[in-house]
Amino acid sequence: MHKVLLVIGDAAEVFDTMYPLHRIREDGYQVVVAGPEKRVYHLVQHDTHPDWDITVEAPGYKLAADIAFRDIRPEDYTGLVLSGGRAPEYLRYDADLMRVTRAMVNDGKPVAAVCHGIEILATAGVIRGKTVTTVKKCRFDAEVCGAKYVDQEVVVDGNLVTARTWHDNHAWMREFMKLLNKAVHL
C-alpha cells in the first residue's frame, strides 16, 4: 500500500487535517500522520466572525501522530500533505521536517499545502519561482521567499498543490489526488 504523510502539530486546523486524512484514504492510500513527536495533538477550528479582523479559533478534535519527524524516511512515501492552522508557524523550525519537505519536493513527489502550510514550504526554500496560493495573511511568506502569489482556490505548479483555506478543500484535494494517482500509476 502506498503511504502519504500528513503533517500536523498542536493548533493544526481541523478541516485542513481531517478532510485530506479521509479523502486520501478513500483512494486506498495509507495516511501516516506525522508530528514533532509521536503523541496526541490538539487540532483547532478556524472561522470568520463579523466583529473580528482575524479568524476566531476554537478547540477541535485530537489526533495522534503515528511517527515523529526525525523517524521519517522520505523514500518510503508517495506524497506529502501540509495542514494549515497555526501549527506551521512553529513546525517550520523543525530541521527534520525541513529535510523531509525538501526531499519530497525535490524528488518530484506530490506535495499539498493549505493555508499556513505555505510557511513550511517557504522556510524549506522550495517555492522560489513557483506560483502558489495561500490564505491572504500568508501572502508575505510566499512572496518574500520568491514565489508568485495568486488569490484563487487552488494552484498546481509542478508537483506542488496549494490552496487558500479549508473552504477550498474540495478543489485542493481534487488536484492533489490527480497528481498522487498519476504518480502511483506511472
Residues tagged active-site: 116
- DSSP lists the bridge partners of residue 82 as 7, 113
Q: Check: CB of residue 148 under 8 Å from CB of residue 156.
A: no
Give the span between the Cα atoms of 87 and 9, in whole angstroms.
5
DSSP 184: H
Task: Tell me the CA distances in angstroms from 75 to 27, 32, 37, 106, 155, one per residue in order.
Answer: 20, 14, 20, 12, 25
CA 174 to chain centre: 14
